[in-house]
Amino acid sequence: MGAEETKREKFVRIVEARTNKIIDMIQLLGNCSNASAYEYTSVDIDKIFSAIENELKEARKKFNKIESKKSTRFTLE
């Protein structure tokens, strides 16, 4: 049998996969900027990026061992 995966190796494997998934989703979100296919307002855009920025702040807090709040699901309406 092979050697057991270290905590560091497990972290790197999982974080790389999850980070790349997030990057892919952000790129897909950017596709929604096509004004010929979608209709949106600057208020919508502000809500979207505010929600994303808030989640990033909460995730960073967890890594810095600062208590973070549980978020809710995003909706525009």
Give the chain's mean pLDDT: 92
Is residue 68 classed as helix, strand or coil in its secondary structure? coil
Per-residue pLDDT at 69 exceeds 80: no
Share of the chain above pLDDT 90, in %: 78
Tell me the mean pLDDT in the region 18-45. 97
- Note the pLDDT of residue 2: 63
Query: What average pLDDT does the segment 46-73 reach?
Result: 89
For residue 25, is pLDDT > 80? yes
The answer for 40, left when phi > 0, alpha when psi is -120 to 50, beta otherwise, is beta
**pLDDT for res 1:** 60
Look at residues 54, 56, 61, 46 and name the one whose alpha carbon lies nearest to residue 23. 56
